[in-house]
Amino acid sequence: MYFSDQITLRTVAVTLDSYGDASKSYTDTTAWANVKSVNRAEFYSSSMAGVKVDIMFEVHAEDYSNQTAVTYSSKSYEVIRAYAKGLGIVELSCVAREVS
């Protein structure tokens, strides 16, 4: 595991003004990751739930703070599952979506 792919982890915060209008603000964190293809078990179990997992990333646990989106190679992904694998590694299962 080389963690040679650079990704951007994004947190989205929604705030309401005094009129009740929502505005979004983003906090981006750059992290090094391993890009992984979706394994067979993950593919079939997500398909049974009606979700198609497109890509998986492994990041160091200290880089991941429950962010909800990932940007990699000019594409946006939504994190649908985060799994702590132990040894300080978190595996993120992601779906390709337009994250705003």
User: Residue 22 belongs to a domain with what CATH number?
Assistant: 2.40.10.270
CB under 8 Å to 35, separation ≥6 — which residues? 5, 7, 55, 56, 57, 72
Task: Supply the mean pLDDT for the chain.
Answer: 91
The structure tokens listed for 82 are 């985060």
Residue pLDDT, tens place only, 32-73: 999 999 888 878 787 788 888 999 999 999 999 999 999 999
Q: Rounded to whole angstroms, how far apart are CA atoms 56 and 63?
A: 16
Residue 57: domain span: 5-96
pLDDT at 49: 80
Confidence of residue 100 (pLDDT cuts 50, 70, 90): low
Q: Rounded to whole angstroms, how far apart are CA atoms 89 and 94?
A: 16
The structure tokens listed for 7 are 């990704």
The tally of domains found in the chain comes to: 1
Our CA dihedral for 30, 81, 69, 39, rounded to 10 degrees, sits at 70
Residues paired with residue 34 on neighbouring β-strands, in sequence order: 58
Q: Is the pLDDT of residue 99 over 70?
A: no
